[in-house]
Structures are given as C-alpha cells and as structure tokens.
Amino acid sequence: MKVLVDIPDNEATFTMKVLKSLTFVKKVKPMSDASVDLWDDLKEAAEEVRMHKKGKIKLKTAQDLLNEL
C-alpha cells in the first residue's frame, strides 16, 4: 500500500528519519510541490472520467477542446 503524508517542512527531516527506521517501510521518498500538484490533477481527472462513465457529467470532446484554442 502507498500512503501520502502531508507534513510541515520544518518537521520533514525528523519524519523522514522515523519512517526510514521502521522495518516494514519499503521506501521513503519526498515529493516536490510540482509532483504533488500533478498527482492532484491526475486524481481529479480520473474522478471526472469515473463520473462520466456513470453518466453523471458530460465531458468535452477533443474537437471542443481544439476549438477553444
């Protein structure tokens, strides 16, 4: 399982040390702000696709997106 934990910058060093010291934690890797933003955008897009498949929202077509440019 993967878990995303949001902690204050001033506690990051201590938290990273604690997580690395746990034997059951396989990998500890900080995420940049850009990565977090991308992750949030991807989650939102996936949720919109799920809602579209259930018929709750209507998504724009590729042609509509091109026309906006």
| pTM, to two decimals | 0.62
C-alpha–C-alpha distance, residues 66 and 1, integer Å:
39
Q: pLDDT of 7-25, one tens digit each?
A: 999 999 999 999 999 999 9
Distance, CA of 56 to CA of 51 (rounded, Å) = 5
Cα 63 to Cα 42: distance, rounded to the nearest angstrom: 21
Q: What is the DSSP string of 35-57?
A: HHHHHHHHHHHHHHHHHHHTTSS
Q: Domain locations in the chain?
A: 9-68
Triad 49, 52, 57: Cα angle to 5°: 125
pLDDT, tens digit (0-9, with 9 covering 90-100), for 32-41: 889 989 999 9
